[in-house]
Amino acid sequence: MLLGTCRVNKLNHLEIGGCDAVELAKEFGTPLYVMDENLIRENCRTYLNSIRSLHENTDVIYAGKAFLTIEMCRIIEEEGLCLDVVSGGELYTAIKAQFPAKRIYFHGNNKSYDELKMAIEYGVGRIVVDNFYELELISDLSKKYPAKNIKVLLRLTPGIEAHTHDYIKTGQLDSKFGFGMENGQALLAVESALSIKGLKLMGFHCHIGSQIFEEEPFKDAAQIMVKFAKTVNDKYGFNTREIDFGGGFGIKYLETDRPLPVKEYIHALVTSVKKCCQNYDVPLPKISIEPGRAIIGEAGTTLYTVGAIKNIPGIRKYVSVDGGMSDNIRPALYGAKYTALIANKAASPKEERVSIAGKCCESGDMLIWDIDLPKIDPGDILAVFCTGAYHYSMASNYNMLPKPAVVFVKNNTARLVVRRQTYEDLLSNEVYLPPAKKVYTASM
């Protein structure tokens, strides 16, 4: 499954962005995250052009939790997107990248006082408020920063359960995120927000899940959110200026996956919002979306070096690589599935069925079960596709494994964006005091 600029070259090697994957592994080591910059930029433009062809007053907000580095911030800014951050660390990354503050949306279900203070001082464009406690914190901060015009969206749970894994459903009423719409909490939040001096309510936000392959959940979200805007207008006289519909747009991890073309997702959402606004007689608001995985997911490939191979006759052949759940937790966390090829035998015929095992000391550290590949040998380079989203972001140092490097490839050139951790890095935060020397005295 070759996406973006991936192709097989004359050496029978996988090539990404004009760079030979085998040579990338030699130069930068493995495991290695390889990002296809041209595909990232193409995805940004597809979303931006698709939505603005239907409605001029829009924002496309890149969901930074999927993958965030200083270099990624730079690309997102250049492509005209806004940025969604969910923690002080992500906000700090954006600040270090000098990302325009007004184009930052600050999310999170448990923002601390210090994180909110940091966001207000930097002047982020929107704070997406998740709960009543956060409203109290912002109310307190608004008194300390009276000159700041704190613009907020209220995150609502519209009661939609998109057909995704339980861990990535977010729009149903029983969720840790947002104000419930079915239990009256959302209206109470509006009333509270409108009463806080120094806070300016701009509108509402929802996010119904991830890896959605259908139009209907987005149409349902449009119906529910616009109806709520009408209710709020009737009850409080508040005119909803903005509705942010979050992300959730599916991507193709496997040949059998059938995500919709971007234009179909966007057309379904925007036309539904317009129709609902007409039906409920409310002004058409600014419409925002938050693709994260959909921009970076298919642009990432992880390279591994094959090590031990264990054949259990009649049962299974395990092929171990030099990474695993430390650089890709998704298979262990929620059963994510991937496709792969051998980068140095990219177009060779498939000869055997194997299972790809990680090197962490967990039986559940399996990257891929039962994949057909050419005959595989120690030292081969395995390329696992569609690893751009939630891999670098969720990487850990389990078993004291250093986190991989990240390279961006484009037009036959590879740029190191994040260096590989060293063993020294693993201990850099430890506070170590040499044991005091024992003093022995002669016994009396």
Q: What is the 3-state secondary structure (H, E, C) of 49-87?
A: HHHHCCCCCEEEEEEHHHCCCHHHHHHHHHCCCEEEECC
Domains of the chain: 7-35+298-426 (2.40.37.10), 37-296 (3.20.20.10)
Instruction: Check residue 151 and give its pLDDT.
Output: 97
- How far apart are the C-alpha atoms of 423 and 374, rounded to whole Å? 34
- For 408-434, what is each residue's pLDDT tens digit? 999 999 999 999 999 999 999 999 777
pLDDT given for residue 183 in this prediction: 78
Average confidence (pLDDT) over 95-124: 97
The one catalytic residue among 19, 276, 360, 361 = 361
* CA nearest neighbour of 223 among 185, 263, 271, 170: 271
pLDDT value for 161: 66
- The predicted pLDDT at position 182 comes to 81
Q: What is the pLDDT of residues 192-240, one digit of tens each?
A: 999 999 999 999 999 998 899 999 999 999 999 999 999 999 999 999 9
Q: Which of the 8 DSSP states describes residue 212?
A: B
> In b/e form, how buried is each residue of 289-313, taking b as 16+ CB within 10 angstroms?
bbbbbbbbbbbbbbbbbbeeeeeee
Catalytic site residue 44? Answer: no
pLDDT of residue 175: 72
